[in-house]
């Protein structure tokens, strides 16, 4: 009998060990780190305990730049990608032939290596001595001036980053929305058709409310994902994001931890906790709004 | 009579409108398809252009009549792309295998076994799903560094194994298997472990395959942890390798060789995707997110 009581824990043991070592312990530790002032990773000593790390991070111009970049990225990419995915999914749902093919193609970016394909975007947008790059030639064709999107003005770099981010997150959103659209009860549509309701009205009065929980799910995960943006930026602008003025909050955390400007786990921890607080706040606001707006 | 022709006219106009709408829909669907596919086309195209040709094209050509595979040889010889590839393969296979070894028994315990505090422990597990990686990566980095495991496979693999979400997914699946099967097996004196291996796993094979594929994708594309934990190119994974190539390899201007490397890195997952298209998309729809 004694043995029987232990058996379930034996099955759980590996999971508990890994969770404990690499999630629970680090979670507690990161809070401790963030309050230890003047931590030295070589000697593992610190001077005192307090909020200095937070104040340092919040006054660091690099962090403020990262914060600004991340917010711009979030505010642009989340609505744009969600709306675009909605339009594309609605289009997909309304056609029959070739739908599978389109769906397959649209999903491709999900399985690609962000770093690798980012390089392709870089060469498409980059202006080099040899060539202005394909996108600039397109711009020239329409009478515009060439812009260096990779090493040029801030808005141009932000544009590429947003464009690439949208490209990367679209597969997931299209997939979720197409399955949500497919699950709407056809009887509603038939009833509306009998009443002679226009297509636009059917979409706004029936389809949208029916799939609104999924839209909100996408908005919430979209916010969380966009706040954690990092590898897209590295793919486009290289690892030295501070120099490119294109750092994100997550990038700032990793730079503090490691790399040329690294070796400050306390600052990294403080920044990580600030990020967590921001994401948590936004998620809560989203949940409150969705409670009032979403049709269940 | 008058009424009848009106009706026909209305029907005709409506059919015409529908055709126009369908046409416009296909146009925009195709447009997005091009936006998605074009970068892939461009990377393959550039990878087969000759270095000299590429650099002499001020206006890049959309096709090439003299494809060359020299860039691929260059990609494998000038930088240790084969090494990165092998590392990623080892990392992916071992991490995914260990993940299954950890996740399957845990899901079994939660789904089938009775023990004190089960619900409490399960809720604790679930709450871990809300913890962002960024919070724990800092300490993990210090832990692995202090253990002297930087630039080792152990350091790469161990912190990457756990996925609470997969325990949850598999548990849900296990619970759908009727209790009667379990009791019948118990009466026959079958051990729990044997029951898990011989009955539950075969029945839940689709879910196991799904989580395996999702984990493989995650491993193949992982960048942040490997970047933190390796600075010796001998242990680089493909993501870090490509970043290294971009910053130091080939001479910065050899774009065709760079694109050849990008193609090589992308092909395995694209092939995997085309093979298991339905499974991957269903699995992701059930709760995968990117990154």
Listed by start position, the domains of chain A span 62-293
What does the pLDDT read at residue B25?
92
Maximum mean pLDDT: which of A154-163, A207-216, B256-265 = A154-163
CA distance B215 to chain A (A): 12
pLDDT-based confidence at residue A1 (cuts at 50, 70, 90): very low
Q: Which residue has the higher pLDDT, A104 or A2?
A: A104
Question: Nearest by CB to A30, which of B135, B167, B221?
Answer: B135
pLDDT tens digits, A139-148: 888 888 888 8
Tell me how far apart the alpha carbons of residues A180 and A253 are, in angstroms, rounded to a whole number. Answer: 36
Q: Are the C-beta atoms of residues A126 and A150 closer than 8 Å to each other?
A: yes
Q: Which long-range contacts (CB under 8 A, 24 or more apart) does A160-164 make?
A: A160/A121, A160/A125, A160/A236, A161/A69, A161/A73, A161/A229, A161/A232, A161/A233, A161/A236, A161/A237, A161/A246, A162/A72, A162/A73, A162/A76, A162/A77, A162/A80, A163/A121, A164/A118, A164/A121, A164/A232, A164/A235, A164/A236
Tell me how far apart the alpha carbons of residues B247 and B242 are, in angstroms, rounded to a whole number. Answer: 9
Which parts of chain A are beta strand (E)?
36-37, 48-49
How many C-beta neighbours within 10 Å does residue A287 have?
A: 12
Nearest to B173, CA basis, from B110, B121, B228: B110
CA distance B115 to chain A (A): 7
pLDDT over 70, % of chain A: 94
pLDDT-based confidence at residue A121 (cuts at 50, 70, 90): very high
pLDDT over 90, % of chain A: 51
Q: Are the C-beta atoms of residues B100 and B208 closer than 8 Å to each other?
A: yes
Is B128 close to A250, i.e. CB distance below 8 A? Answer: no
What does the pLDDT read at residue A55?
92
Q: Are the C-beta atoms of residues A290 and A235 closer than 8 Å to each other?
A: no
Instruction: Indicate whether A11 pLDDT > 90.
Output: yes
Pairing of strands A48-49, A36-37: antiparallel
Tell me how far apart the alpha carbons of residues B149 and B277 are, in angstroms, rounded to a whole number. Answer: 37
Is B113 close to A7, i.e. CB distance below 8 A? Answer: yes
Q: What is the ipTM of this complex?
A: 0.89
Chain A residues close to B244, C-beta within 8 Å: none
What does the pLDDT read at residue B40?
95
Is A130 close to B58, i.e. CB distance below 8 A? Answer: yes
Tell me how far apart the alpha carbons of residues A235 and A126 are, in angstroms, rounded to a whole number. Answer: 13
pLDDT-based confidence at residue A127 (cuts at 50, 70, 90): confident
What DSSP designation does A45 have?
Answer: B
Q: Can you read off the two tokens belonging to residue B18?
A: 């529908």
**Interface residue of B63, B134, B159, B174 to substitute, partner A, most A CBs within 10 Å:** B134
pLDDT tens digits, A202-247: 888 888 888 988 899 899 889 989 999 999 999 999 888 888 899 9
In degrees rounded to 5, what are phi and psi of residue B79?
-125, 155
Q: Are the C-beta atoms of residues B192 and B135 closer than 8 Å to each other?
A: no
Nearest to B254, CA basis, from B71, B77, B80: B71
What does the pLDDT read at residue B290?
43
Q: Among A151-155, A224-228, B127-131, B285-289, whose mean pLDDT is lowest?
A: B285-289
Tell me how far apart the alpha carbons of residues A12 and B104 are, in angstroms, rounded to a whole number. Answer: 9
pLDDT-based confidence at residue A199 (cuts at 50, 70, 90): confident
Distances (CA, A) of A284 to A173, A222, A280, A288: 21, 14, 6, 6
Is A18 in CB contact (< 8 Å) with chain B? yes
Q: Among A5-14, A26-35, A170-179, A260-269, whose mean pLDDT is lowest?
A: A260-269
Closest residue of chain A to B46, computed from CA coordinates:
A120
What DSSP designation does B69 have?
Answer: -
What does the pLDDT read at residue A259?
67
Is A281 in CB contact (< 8 Å) with chain B? no
- The residue assigned the tokens 């892939």 is B40
Q: Are the C-beta atoms of residues B264 and B85 closer than 8 Å to each other?
A: yes
Q: Among A114-128, A163-177, A193-207, B172-186, whose mean pLDDT is lowest?
A: A193-207
**Interface residue of B139, B263, B269 to substitute, partner A, most A CBs within 10 Å:** B139
pLDDT tens digits, B186-232: 888 888 888 898 889 999 998 899 899 889 999 999 999 999 999 88
- The residue assigned the tokens 């606001």 is A285
Burial of A7 (0-12, 13-18, 19+ CB in 10 A): middle
CA distance B1 to chain A (A): 23
What does the pLDDT read at residue B19?
87
Instruction: Indicate whether A120 pLDDT > 60.
Output: yes
- Which runs of consecutive H residues, i.e. helices, occur in B48-178? 51-56, 70-78, 81-112, 118-128, 133-146, 153-157, 164-175
Instruction: Indicate whether B4 pLDDT > 80.
Output: no
Tell me how far apart the alpha carbons of residues A201 and A10 are, in angstroms, rounded to a whole number. Answer: 58
This prediction's pTM: 0.91
Is B134 close to A117, i.e. CB distance below 8 A? Answer: no
Chain A residues close to B101, C-beta within 8 Å: 14
**Interface residue of B14, B21, B32, B269 to substitute, partner A, most A CBs within 10 Å:** B32
Instruction: Indicate whether A49 pLDDT > 50.
Output: yes
Chain A residues close to B220, C-beta within 8 Å: 113
Closest residue of chain A to B271, computed from CA coordinates:
A111
Is A26 close to B143, i.e. CB distance below 8 A? Answer: yes
**Interface residue of A1, A10, A17, A18 to substitute, partner B, most B CBs within 10 Å:** A18
What does the pLDDT read at residue B287?
63
What does the pLDDT read at residue B10?
82
For residue B230, the SS3 value is coil
Chain A residues close to B39, C-beta within 8 Å: 117, 120-121, 124, 167
**Interface residue of A20, A77, A113 to substitute, partner B, most B CBs within 10 Å:** A113
Instruction: Indicate whether B250 pLDDT > 70.
Output: no
Burial of A284 (0-12, 13-18, 19+ CB in 10 A): exposed
How many C-beta neighbours within 10 Å does residue A246 have?
A: 24
CA distance A11 to chain B (A): 5
Instruction: Indicate whether A43 pLDDT > 70.
Output: no
pLDDT over 70, % of chain B: 95
What does the pLDDT read at residue B291?
36
Element (H, E) at B27: helix B2-47
CA distance B289 to chain A (A): 7
Tell me how far apart the alpha carbons of residues B84 and B237 are, in angstroms, rounded to a whole number. Answer: 5
Tell me how far apart the alpha carbons of residues A127 and A136 are, in angstroms, rounded to a whole number. Answer: 8
Q: Among B96-100, B132-136, B249-253, whose mean pLDDT is lowest?
A: B249-253
Q: What is the mean pLDDT of residues B31-59?
A: 90
- Say which residues have a Cβ less than 8 Å from residue A146's Cβ, sequence separation at least 6: A127, A132, A136, A139, A140
Instruction: Indicate whether A2 pLDDT > 50.
Output: no
pLDDT-based confidence at residue B249 (cuts at 50, 70, 90): low
pLDDT tens digits, A72-95: 999 999 999 999 999 999 999 888
Q: Which CATH class is domain A62-293?
A: mainly alpha
Helix B255-275 to helix B81-112 angle (10° resolution) is 30
What DSSP designation does A49 have?
Answer: E
Q: Are the C-beta atoms of residues B170 and B107 closer than 8 Å to each other?
A: yes
Q: What is the mean pLDDT of residues A29-46?
A: 78
pLDDT-based confidence at residue A48 (cuts at 50, 70, 90): confident
Tell me how far apart the alpha carbons of residues A169 and A110 are, in angstroms, rounded to a whole number. Answer: 8
Q: What is the mean pLDDT of residues B33-50?
A: 94
CA distance B125 to chain A (A): 8
What DSSP designation does A36 have?
Answer: E
Q: What is the mean pLDDT of residues A162-180?
A: 94
What does the pLDDT read at residue B288?
57
Tell me how far apart the alpha carbons of residues B96 and B85 are, in angstroms, rounded to a whole number. Answer: 16
Q: Are the C-beta atoms of residues A32 and A44 closer than 8 Å to each other?
A: no
pLDDT-based confidence at residue B289 (cuts at 50, 70, 90): low
Is B36 close to A109, i.e. CB distance below 8 A? Answer: yes
To the nearest whole number, what is the mean pLDDT of chain B? 88
Instruction: Indicate whether B108 pLDDT > 80.
Output: yes
């Amino acid at each position: 009998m004694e043995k029987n009581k232990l058996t379930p824990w034996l099955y759980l043991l590996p999971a508990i060990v890994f969770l404990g070592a690499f999630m629970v312990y680090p979670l507690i530790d990161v809070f401790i780190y963030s309050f230890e002032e003047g931590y030295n990773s070589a000697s593992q000593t610190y001077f005192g305990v307090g909020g200095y790390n937070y104040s340092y991070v919040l006054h660091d111009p690099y962090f403020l730049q990262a914060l600004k970049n991340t917010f711009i990225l979030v505010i642009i990419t989340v609505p744009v990608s969600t709306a675009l995915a909605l339009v594309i999914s609605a289009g997909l749902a309304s056609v029959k032939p070739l739908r599978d093919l389109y769906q397959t193609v649209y999903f491709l970016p999900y399985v690609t290596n962000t770093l690798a394909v980012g390089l392709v975007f870089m060469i498409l947008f980059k202006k080099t001595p040899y060539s202005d790059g394909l996108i600039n030639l397109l711009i020239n064709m329409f009478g515009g001036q060439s812009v260096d999107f990779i090493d040029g003005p801030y808005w141009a770099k932000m544009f590429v980053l947003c464009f690439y981010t949208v490209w990367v997150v679209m597969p997931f959103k299209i997939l979720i929305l197409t399955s949500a659209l497919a699950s709407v009860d056809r009887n509603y549509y038939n009833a509306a058709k009998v009443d002679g309701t226009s297509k636009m009205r059917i979409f706004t009065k029936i389809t949208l409310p029916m799939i609104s929980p999924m839209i909100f799910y996408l908005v919430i995960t979209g916010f969380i994902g966009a706040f954690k943006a990092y590898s897209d930026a590295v793919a486009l602008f290289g690892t030295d994001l501070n120099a490119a003025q294109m750092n994100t909050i997550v990038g700032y955390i990793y730079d503090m931890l490691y790399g040329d400007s690294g070796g400050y786990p306390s600052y990294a921890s403080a920044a990580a906790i600030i990020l967590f607080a921001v994401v948590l706040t936004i998620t809560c606001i989203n949940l409150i709004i969705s409670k009032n707006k979403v049709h269940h | 009579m008058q009424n009848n022709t009106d009706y026909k006219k209305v029907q005709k106009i409506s059919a015409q409108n529908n055709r126009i709408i369908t046409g416009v829909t296909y146009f925009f669907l195709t447009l997005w398809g091009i936006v998605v596919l074009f970068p892939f086309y461009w990377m393959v195209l550039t990878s087969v252009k000759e270095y000299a040709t590429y650099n002499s094209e001020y206006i890049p050509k959309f096709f090439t009549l003299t494809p060359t595979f020299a860039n691929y040889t260059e990609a494998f010889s000038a930088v240790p792309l084969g090494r990165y590839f092998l590392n990623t393969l080892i990392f992916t296979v071992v991490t995914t295998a260990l993940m299954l070894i950890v996740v399957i028994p845990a899901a079994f315990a939660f789904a089938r076994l009775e023990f004190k505090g089960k619900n409490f422990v399960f809720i604790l597990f679930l709450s871990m799903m809300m913890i962002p990686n960024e919070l724990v990566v800092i300490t993990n980095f210090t832990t692995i560094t202090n253990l002297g495991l930087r630039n080792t496979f152990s350091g790469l693999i161990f912190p990457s194994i756990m996925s609470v979400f997969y325990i949850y997914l598999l548990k849900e699946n296990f619970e759908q298997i009727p209790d009667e099967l379990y009791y019948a097996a118990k009466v026959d004196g079958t051990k729990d472990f044997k029951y898990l291996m011989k009955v539950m796993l075969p029945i839940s094979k689709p879910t196991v395959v799904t989580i395996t594929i999702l984990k493989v994708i995650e491993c193949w594309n992982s960048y942040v942890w490997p970047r933190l934990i390796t600075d010796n190119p001998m242990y680089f994974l493909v993501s870090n390798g490509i970043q290294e190539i971009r910053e130091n390899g080939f001479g910065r201007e050899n774009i065709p060789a760079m694109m050849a490397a990008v193609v090589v890195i992308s092909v395995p997952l694209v092939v995997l995707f085309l093979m298991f298209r339905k499974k991957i998309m269903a699995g992701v729809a059930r709760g995968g997110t990117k990154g």
